[in-house]
Amino acid sequence: MAASIIETTGLTRSYGDICALKPLDLLVPEGEWLSVMGHSGSGKSTFMNLVGGLDRPTSGSLQVGGENLLALSEDGLARFRREFVGIIFQQHHLVPYLTAVENVMMAQYFHSVPDEAEARFALERVGLGHRLKNRPGELSGGEQQRVCIARAIINSPKLLLGDEPTGNLDHKSTIMVMELLKELRAEENFTVIMVTHNQEVAAWGDRTIYLDDGILVREERLVKTDEG
Amino acid sequence: MLFRILKNSFLKRPKAVFLIFLSITMGAAVATAFLGIAGEVSHKMALELRSYGANILIEPSAAEGGGFLREEDLPKIKTVFWKYNITGFAPYLFGIAEFSSGGKRERGVVSGTWFAKQLEVPGEDVSTQGVKGIAPWWEVQGRWPEDADEAIIGAALAKRLNVASGGEVTALVKGRRQLFRIVGIVTTGGYEEEQLFAPLVTVQTLLLQTGKVSRVQVSALTVPMDDFGKKDPSTMSKDEYEKWYCTAYVTSVAKNVEEVMAGSRAKPVWQIASAEGALLNKLNSVMLLLTVLALGASATSVSTSLMASMAERSKEIALMKAVGADRFQISSIFIGETLIISVVGGIVGYFIGDQLAEVISRTVFNSTIASPLWLFPTAIISAFVVAIAGSIAPLRRALLVEPVKVLKG
Ligand SMILES: Nc1ncnc2c1ncn2[C@@H]1O[C@H](COP(=O)(O)OP(=O)(O)OP(=O)(O)O)[C@@H](O)[C@H]1O
Ligand SMILES: [Mg+2]
């Protein structure tokens, strides 16, 4: 049994009267690929943002990678994000005036020092070796999402978070992105948490949890058939 | 990388960057121009103010008891440490005389003085000294005396003697007589209107006071008195005294003159000295205030431009934060941007401001000015100050951006 990379007890997040996440107890073992499902407004993004250090809980405890996120200052959380987490959003959030390689280098810059060769290599790994100098506006949706993946993995995070990364992609691109993530995970051994509305995408994971109105209602362990 | 981010962010938003650049440049230009001419304005103003009367009065010191100063000491006034600040002086010798003209008799003061005397002092430029120079507000109907027996007469005395320009007045002092030809009637608005003014030598002879002078009025360019200037020099340390002596306070110039006039006491004419000081101080404050206001206006404009571009940049900031940029890293990008703009703006602003000062000085004062060396760093620093002051509010806002809210899917 691997050690837990994420440990929450009684974790909640409220916005005024709205309780977006009801007390949640969850353990995520290191190296697991966890899918998060639930209807719109069920608190999936809320959960993700808490785990990724982008948001602060209202109550409960939250340990990620041995770090008590509640105890961290704003700058402490920023350091946690750049050193520990890679995030991929649904909208491909790239800096529009920077090229693909510069967008990746920006993450390196905030982390430590930019290294163009390394950034180029990361883009080659996601199959964009030929579009290094293009700006986001000149890339397709799937390509932009792959730049985001390259940026998310560039600092070798222990935890990769995806908030519906394939939400805007067609079936073919979705498969491509998921395959890519799977390959990268095999090499880098990071833990994955993936929010999705898509059952097929969720099936890429080891386990799926279902949220409903901020409550964990169900979880499902997937039997891997394709690895047998 | 920071450089790449800055370069691309500039290229991406040329209009916004240009607006900020413009605000900073204008601020720096106005600051340069104002500060550049401030010194000039003060100087010109001080010169102008000197026409409102002598600000130092030299009298025989009570201790000496002689009651007179020596005329032979007068040229030394042009050799003292502060000689270039002394714009003019005039000696006076007073005596009571019995004036008569036609059938009228009146007691009054006969006053010997220099009107416009060519003064040659070895080693110094020839200068013209006398009442004409230090009291330009004297209104003479007729002309100034030139010959030894010519005189001008105060308007009040002239009226009582019923004498006009071209007439004659006899002065009687202890049995000695002197006939004066009146060449002008003088109106001053002061006690001088009760006197008769004649060349110093003539009056000295009449009063039997050869080579003697009752008092000297000196007009000097001085700096406004401040707290240090008001200290009593006799209680100062050596260094303090040196600093005091080398500052053109009216008191230190007076002291300077006193040292060369044997048996004299020189004192500031306080009504004039302090009124002048107050005026010059006000003038400097106004220039400074205008500069500060101009800088404030351009800082506001920088702030507004940055705020406006902040709306479109909040996504980019949110993204940087999500990727792990801390407050320091976000700040350095923003401050870096404005600092680069402000260096360029400061340099350009300096050159524009310098030209502006030149033009102002030419049109207003009819003179050219040499811009002081400190003006360049001042322009750059003004630009920095504008940039930093203008960045505070936008930067605050940038740091408050919440990635979770902005990047919502
Ligand atoms: N900043 C906020 N202020 C107030 N309420 C919020 C805020 N963010 C989220 N909520 C509320 O919290 C609840 C959960 O939101 P969340 O974004 O986690 O849902 P989700 O499961 O990600 O939905 P979707 O599938 O549509 O992305 C919703 O009811 C939402 O309205
Ligand atoms: Mg969501």
How does pLDDT run across B158-179, given as a tens digit for each residue?
A: 999 999 999 999 999 999 999 9
SS3 B27: helix
Q: Tell me the ipTM for this assembly.
A: 0.92
**Encoded amino acid at A177, one letter:** V
Ligand nearest to the CA of A47: 1
Q: Binning pLDDT at 50, 70 and 90, where does residue A225 land?
A: low
A164 closest CB neighbour out of B11, B319, B409: B409
Q: How many residues does chain B have?
A: 409
CA atoms within 13 A of residue A99's CA, in its CB half-sphere: 16
In angstroms, rounded to a whole number, what is the distance separating the alpha carbons of residues B298 and B286? 18
Q: Which of B115, B117, B114 is nearest to B143 (CA)?
A: B115
Q: What is the band of B408 on the pLDDT scale with cuts at 50, 70, 90?
A: confident
Q: Nearest CA to B58 among B271, B270, B268, B274? A: B268
Residue nearest to atom 16 of ligand 1 (CA): A43
In this structure, the answer to whether residues B216 and B150 fall within a common structural domain is yes
Backbone angles phi, psi at B178, to 5 degrees: -145, 125
Output the six-digit token pair for A31: 């190296």
Chain B: give the shortest CA distance to residue A57, in Å: 13
For helices A171-188 and A141-153, give the axis angle rounded to 10 degrees.
Answer: 10
Please give the share of chain A, as a percent, with pLDDT higher than 90.
85
Radius of gyration of the CA atoms of chain A, in A:
17
B273 within a domain of the structure (yes/no):
no
**Whether the predicted pLDDT of B147 surpasses 70:** yes
List pLDDT tens digits, range A135-188. 999 999 889 999 999 999 999 999 999 999 998 888 988 998 899 999 999 999
Question: Tokens at residue B25, please?
Answer: 């440049």
Which residue bears the tokens 């691109």?
A173
> How far are the Cα atoms of B101, B124, B388 from residue B180, in angstroms, in the given order?
10, 34, 74
Q: What is the DSSP string of B156-223?
A: HHHHHHT--TT-EEEEEETTEEEEEEEEEEEE-SSGGGGEEEEEHHHHHHHHT-TTEESEEEEEE--P
Residues belonging to chain B with any Cβ–Cβ distance to chain A shorter than 8 Å: 1-2, 4-5, 8-9, 11-12, 315-316, 318-329, 403-404, 407-409
Examine the pLDDT at A52 and tell me if it is beyond 90: yes
pLDDT(B50) > 70:
yes
Give the integer Cα–Cα distance in Å for A79 and A69: 11
Name residue, tokens 């930019």. Answer: A114
Mean pLDDT of chain B: 89
Residue A17 in contact with ligand 1 by CB distance below 6 A: no
Q: Which 8-state DSSP code applies to residue A203?
A: T
Residue B365's pLDDT is 74
Q: Name the token pair of B291.
A: 């500069």
The mean pLDDT of B330-342, rounded to a whole number, is: 89
In the predicted model, what is the mean pLDDT of residues A95-120?
Answer: 93
Give pLDDT tens digits for A73-92. Answer: 999 999 999 999 999 988 87
Min Cα separation B4/chain A (Å)? 8
For residues B365, B370, B373, B374, the Cα torsion angle rounded to the nearest 10 degrees is 0
Question: Are B409 and A94 within 8 A, CB to CB?
Answer: no
Residues B263 and B120 in one domain: yes
Mean pLDDT highest for which of A204-213, B65-74, B261-270?
A: A204-213
The answer to whether the Cβ–Cβ distance between A94 and B319 falls below 8 Å is yes
Same-domain pairing of B260 and B165 = yes
Atom of ligand 1 nearest to the CA of A43: 18
Residue B226, pLDDT score: 84
Q: What is the mean pLDDT of residues B153-160?
A: 94
Q: Determine which of A37-41, A62-66, B33-37 has the lowest per-residue pLDDT on average.
A: B33-37
- Separation of alpha carbons B395 and B382, rounded Å: 19
A215 versus A223: the higher-pLDDT residue is A215
In this structure, the answer to whether residues B207 and B84 fall within a common structural domain is yes
Count the helix, strand and coil residues of chain B and give each as a percent rounded to the nearest 5.
55, 20, 25
Residues from A contacting B (CB-CB < 8 Å) are: 45, 49, 54-55, 74-75, 78-83, 85, 87, 89-91, 93-98, 102, 105-111, 114, 151, 163-164, 167
| In-domain check, residue B260 | yes
Same-domain check for residues B299 and B207: no
Query: Does residue B184 have a pLDDT over 90?
Result: yes
Q: Distance between CA atoms of B47 and A216, rounded to whole angstroms?
A: 87
In chain B, whose CA is at the least distance from the CA of A163? Answer: B409
> Is the minimum distance from the CB of A39 to ligand 1 under 6 angstroms?
no
Q: Comparing B184 with B358, which gets the higher pLDDT?
A: B184
Quickly count: other Cβ atoms within 10 Å of residue B347's Cβ: 16
Residue B304 counted as domain residue: yes
pLDDT band at residue A42 using 50, 70 and 90 as cut-offs: very high
B81-92: b (≥16 Cβ within 10 Å) or e: bbbebbbbbbbb
**Rounded mean pLDDT, A208-219:** 95
How close A107 comes to chain B (CA, Å)?
6
- B264 and B290 in a single domain? The answer is no
What are the structure tokens assigned to B400, written together? 């408050």
Residues B7, B140 within the same domain: no
Give Cα separations from B101 to B24, B169, B191 (angstroms): 74, 5, 21
Looking at the structure of chain B, the number of domains it has is 2
Summarised one tens digit per residue, pLDDT across range B247-295 is 888 889 999 899 998 888 888 888 777 888 888 888 888 888 989 999 9
Predicted confidence band of residue A228 (pLDDT cuts 50, 70, 90): very low
Phi/psi zone of residue B247: left (φ > 0), alpha (ψ -120 to 50 degrees), beta?
beta
Q: pLDDT digit string (tens) for B119-138?
A: 988 888 899 999 998 888 88
Structure-block tokens of residue B258 = 């006193």
Q: Are residues B223 and B364 in the same domain?
A: no
Report the range out of B79-88, B197-206, B334-343 with the highest average pLDDT: B197-206
| Ligand 1 atom with the shortest distance to the CA of A214 | 14
B194 close to B70: Cβ distance less than 8 angstroms: no
For residues A7-26, give the mean pLDDT.
94
For strands B212-213 and B69-70, give the pairing: antiparallel
**Cα B61–chain centre separation:** 30
CA–centroid distance, B408 to ligand 2, in Å, is 7
Among A55, A95, A102, A115, most B C-beta atoms within 10 A, so best to mutate, is A95
> What pLDDT does A218 receive?
94
Minimal-distance CA residue of chain A relative to B406: A93
The residue with greater pLDDT, B50 or B252, is B252
Examine the fold and report which residue of B240, B268, B296 is the final residue of a domain before the chain moves on.
Answer: B268
| Whole-number Å distance between alpha carbons of B268 and B274 | 9
- What confidence score (pLDDT) does residue B362 get? 85
Contacts of B5 in chain A (CB under 8 A): 95, 98, 102, 106, 109
**Is A12 a residue whose pLDDT tops 70?**
yes
- Which of the 8 DSSP states describes residue A39? S
Domain-by-domain residue ranges, chain A?
A: 4-221
Distance CA B332, CA B336 (A): 5
pLDDT above 80 for B380: yes
- A56: nearest CA in chain B? B404
Burial of B215 (0-12, 13-18, 19+ CB in 10 A): middle
Give the closest of B323, B327, B407 to A106, CB-based: B323
Residue B161 sits in the same domain as residue B208: yes
Per-residue confidence at A2, pLDDT binned at 50, 70, 90?
Answer: low
For residue A108, count other CB atoms closer than 10 A to its CB. 21
Higher-pLDDT residue of B41 and B157 is B157
B357 lies in some domain:
yes
Q: Which CATH superfamily is domain A4-221 in?
A: P-loop containing nucleotide triphosphate hydrolases (3.40.50.300)
DSSP code for A164: S
**What is the extent of the structural domain holding B380?**
2-46+278-407
At A136, list the tokens.
Answer: 């986001």
Nearest alpha-carbon partner for B14 in B297, B301, B391, B305 = B305
Query: Do residues B298 and B259 share a domain?
Result: no
CB B228: neighbour CB atoms within 10 A?
12
- Answer with the one of B214, B238, B268 that is the final residue of a domain: B268
SS3 string, B53-78, reads CCCEEEEECCCCCCCCEEHHHHHHHH
At residue B141, the pLDDT reads 94
Provide, as residue numbers in chain B, all residues whose Cβ is less than 8 Å from the Cβ of A102: 1, 4-5, 8
Q: At residue A198, what is the residue type?
A: N
DSSP string, A170-206: -HHHHHHHHHHHHHHHHHH--EEEEE-S-HHHHTTSS
Where is the domain boundary, B268, B294, B325? Answer: B268
Are residues A16 and A28 in contact, defined by beta-carbon separation less than 8 angstroms? Answer: no
